[in-house]
Structure 1
């Protein structure tokens, strides 16, 4: 995930209803957020496929026109792509998004954009009980910073300091850290990738299409990640590729946790991992996470969860806007 200024750019929003969105390459999801502290109340949830739409303005217009009653005049949108000031670009669709243009076209007082992983980070401390699944319980009453990471088009990661109403979200470039091979086949993979791109980053190996890349490295044919995941249980090479991938992801997550001091918990998110929700608990992920040598007990004390709340990014956008409004009111 690229370093953006999204956490600084979250605008002050007045109290009351707020239009929130989670804008991905495939779908745009919208809701109206209300409520005070804690997880926001998300009403009028709607998911619109992006195929056939002219752009985000078109999607927002369709959503707003279908709303009963008066529409909100402010919006905070989580975007699956880099943010630069008041503009954003979707990574998986050729849409450029301009806040000012949306405000003018749709008569909105304020439109704020933030990266989808920053929005996920804002959501972590407020997720409803059913919004995540425990992979490692960790120490009872574990407290401290939180980290969120996950593969998609890239490899996103963010840190949350002082989780709660006074929290600060710090986007990171952790996905661009060097890939750290351990086993002989990891080294062989790094050497093969170095022939086409150097240095080899964690993102090159662990982003969504990394599973297909590992399948190919094991001698399988050229397949998509979705096809490899679908073949699990029937194709031994698919099983091996997934096992290898999850162990490597666990190593990266464990390294990130000890580097950032994320003693309050590590959360896994992104577009790929929900497909592997049934595979993760019995995989080598936690072996890789906890293989920290003298810090193994430190790692085992860190709670690890898989985010399952489908509205996590949209809810995080609402929380980010609420916190910005609170800071503005206190100033």
Structure 2
């Protein structure tokens, strides 16, 4: 039986692995800038594993953006995929492309207990939706549903573009500054890597403080070192993430739990766990009781998107080369 290959492709890096016996093997990270396209990157990966072209039967790639059809252009790098040319060049039988956050959501079905940290205690209800939300380059939001046949249904959406909620007078003042700077204020404008910088600038403008940091990494480091303004950025970020996640739980009835993913929050995980996230998550007035008992986890797994691509490949119908059980 031929091997399967999975990939999780972002703007800067492409992660590849073999998928065998429902497990990842030989994970490798390649820079997208070093290759003309995914075919060349995968050929290099196969060569590093001493595998000839034709050794791989199926490929599943998690790609940022809506997928479908025979041509896909990546929005955050120079790569493109033509299905027929891709399969011919790499001598594979089928190519499955899935939305990157759909793959991330499916990855939650395979994480181990040691790959997640409890943020809010509770008991997940297996027959109810689970919310997957993650701050990275943007803010991804997806819904995960268990199916009677043992497979999983992913409902991706554009939840990162909802309006940023206001839950306190301080947040109202910050929102006014953000509105002057941005116009329409989306959750993603604050709840993302670059959002840390946007939020920092808004706080400095509101309080008349000088700007001392120019990157999200510098703000995170300063906040962890105890600098008050940068510390407020991390705290307010955590509270706003709690408000957005709580809103999503109410909308979806997501009593199956909440998974916090993405690359931003793990950088200040201890500060996040001690933040006002939980209070803001449950701060829903007369519906606050609904949020009690819903578990929230911070996911620390290294390659959940790759694992999710393997799950997508595993449960896609064999007769359909570009099918995945997700609704767009």
TM-score of the alignment, normalized to the shorter chain, above 0.5: yes
Bigger mean CA deviation after superposition, 313-322 or 276-285: 276-285
1:209 aligned onto 2:162: no
Q: Please, which of 310, 313, 316 is the counterpart of residue 305 of structure 2?
A: 313
Correspondence 1:72 to 2:56: yes
Does residue 46 (structure 1) correspond to residue 28 (structure 2)? The answer is: yes
Structure 2 residue matching 1:153: 3-state secondary structure? coil
For residues 196 and 82 of structure 1, do their structure 2 counterparts lie closer, same or farther at Cα, with a shift above 3 Å needed?
Answer: farther
Please name the residue that 1:4 is paired with.
none
Matching residue within 122, 138, 163 for 1:138? 122
Deviations 1:75-115 (A, max 9, x none): 00112344353443444323333333321222222222111
* Offset of residue 187 of structure 1: 2.0
Contact 2:103 2:308 in 1 (8 A): yes
- Aligned residue in 1 for 2:295: 303
Which residue in the other structure is 1:123 paired with?
107
Query: 2: distance between equivalents of 1:230 and 1:50?
Result: 28
2:267 corresponds to: 275
TM-score, with length taken from structure 1? 0.86
Whole-Å separation in 2 of the counterparts to 1:216 and 1:198: 15
Residue equivalent to 1:238: 230
Structure 1 range deviating more: 215-224 or 172-181: 215-224
Distance 2:169 2:299 in 1: 32
**What is the correspondence of 1:1-331 to structure 2 with a 5 Å cutoff?**
17-35=3-21, 40-69=22-51, 71-139=55-123, 144-162=128-146, 165-219=150-204, 220-221=210-211, 223-232=214-223, 233-325=225-317
Between Structure 1 and Structure 2, how many residues are aligned? Answer: 310
The alpha-carbon deviation at position 256 of structure 1 amounts to 0.6
Return closer, same or farther for 1:298/1:150 CA change in 2, 3 Å cut-off: same
- Cα shift readout 1:92-142 (whole Å, capped 9, x = no counterpart): 323333333321222222222111110011121222222222111213766
Change (3 A) 1:326 1:308: farther
* Contact kept in structure 2, 1:142 and 1:303, CA below 8 Å: no
The gaps in structure 2 that reach 5 residues or longer are 205-209, 321-328
- Paired with 2:248 and 2:117, the residues of 1 have a C-alpha distance of 20
Distance verdict in 2 for CA 1:55–1:215, change over 3 Å: same
Distance in 1, matches of 2:154 and 2:24, equals 22
Per-residue deviation at 1:73?
A: 2.1
Note if contact 2:178-2:202 (Cα within 8 Å) is conserved in structure 1.
no
What CA distance in whole angstroms lies between the structure 1 residues aligned with 2:23 and 2:33? 28
